[in-house]
Amino acid sequence: MKDRLRACGDDGSAVALAVGARAALRAIPLLEYLEWDKPPRKRMRPSVGRQRMSKDDIVLGCFRSAATAWVAAMFPAFGASERFHGIKHAARLAGGAEHAGKSPANAVGAATHATMMATISLVDKFRIFIDGREAAPGEHCAIMASHAAAIAAHGFMRAYDRQAAEQLFANARDLDWIANRELSASERAVWDAARKDVQLWKDARDTQALLAQPLWLAGVPSYAQEDWRKLVARLRGRTDERWEVWIDWYEARLAGRRDVSEHDEIARVSLADDVWALGAAAVNASIAGQTVAQR
């Protein structure tokens, strides 16, 4: 995937960011696998210096991180702005993969983190070295976007093909077996979707048009669709938290809606840190208020 992205020429970094952002978004239904019925896990190690995130905070953070990467890809001037510079690292860490336990849900925070790394790499023009050589411009962006797809695919395998996940765990030290193993159907679904994204860009040469396409060009896999429905029902049941602002946003990405307001999208991800710190109810109310004001 990295090679496919680098083969896109001068636009390779922008394409990589779009592909990575869409791969991370495909992982969102895995949030249904958070251990919703279990009490919060133990505190983080004292050396980490922060408390465990609640499940609401994990969901909010994953939406925030995924949306920030998507908005930066959709509106490149925002990605290059001081406004983005001020929020990028908080958005990178917002998903809190380390807080999600060992369930497939931790893939969501990890994938959104990788996509935010691709975003930051693109706008900051990272210089990195691979095997003693300086990487070509944009190569780090392509690597991190590929990681986002790989993480999403791995999360899908753990959620939807337990036998394949158990085999992988049993052979974790056999690098030859890992390198040559057959991908599970759920992993292939994620990789095939990413490859279709690259091919669509090659056909149209329009990154923004790619970002506005339905998230799954060949249709949402039934198992991911079912988990998204379950997650929606769970979040709608928490009526005081107003999750509709994120449910509607995500379903617009699923459907490929093109009526996107640049002002609203940037405002959504640019809330002040002290607002994000107030939690889902306050953040979602703020987003809902901004949306109503614009209408």
**Contact yes or no for 247/232 (Cβ under 8 A):** yes
Q: 174 to each of 157, 167, 171, 185, how far by Cα in Å?
A: 19, 11, 5, 22
Q: What is the mean pLDDT of residues 185-195?
A: 97
- In which band, very low, low, confident or very high, does the pLDDT at 105 lie, cut at 50, 70 and 90? very high
How confident is the model over 135-151, as pLDDT tens digits? 666 788 899 999 999 99
In this predicted structure, what is the pLDDT of residue 291? 61
**What pTM was estimated for this model as a whole?**
0.91
- In which band, very low, low, confident or very high, does the pLDDT at 172 lie, cut at 50, 70 and 90? confident
DSSP-derived 3-state class of residue 133: strand
Phi, psi angles (nearest 5°) of residue 60: -60, -45
User: DSSP class of residue 271?
Assistant: -
In this predicted structure, what is the pLDDT of residue 7? 86
Q: What is the mean pLDDT of residues 169-193?
A: 91
**Contact yes or no for 159/127 (Cβ under 8 A):** no
CA 149 to CA 172: how far, in whole Å? 20
In this predicted structure, what is the pLDDT of residue 47? 42
Phi, psi angles (nearest 5°) of residue 26: -65, -20
Token pair 């959709």 is found at 74
Token couple for 159: 């959620």
Q: What is the mean pLDDT of residues 115-123?
A: 88
CA 288 to CA 292: how far, in whole Å? 6
Beta bridge partners of 105: none
CA 26 to CA 137: how far, in whole Å? 27
How confident is the model over 12-58, as pLDDT tens digits? 889 999 999 999 999 999 999 998 887 666 554 444 455 778 899 99
CA 164 to CA 144: how far, in whole Å? 25
Any residues with CB less than 8 A from the CB of 272 and at least 6 apart, and which? none
Please report, in angstroms and rounded to a whole number, the separation of the first and last CA atoms in the chain: 40
How confident is the model over 213-272, as pLDDT tens digits? 999 999 999 999 999 999 999 999 999 999 999 999 999 999 999 889 999 999 999 999
| CB-CB neighbours of 287 under 10 Å | 21
| Percent of the chain surpassing pLDDT 70 | 91
CA 224 to CA 19: how far, in whole Å? 19
Structural domain range at position 134:
2-294
Task: State how beta strands 129-130 and 133-134 pair.
Answer: antiparallel
Q: How many domains in the chain?
A: 1
Token couple for 175: 């690098």
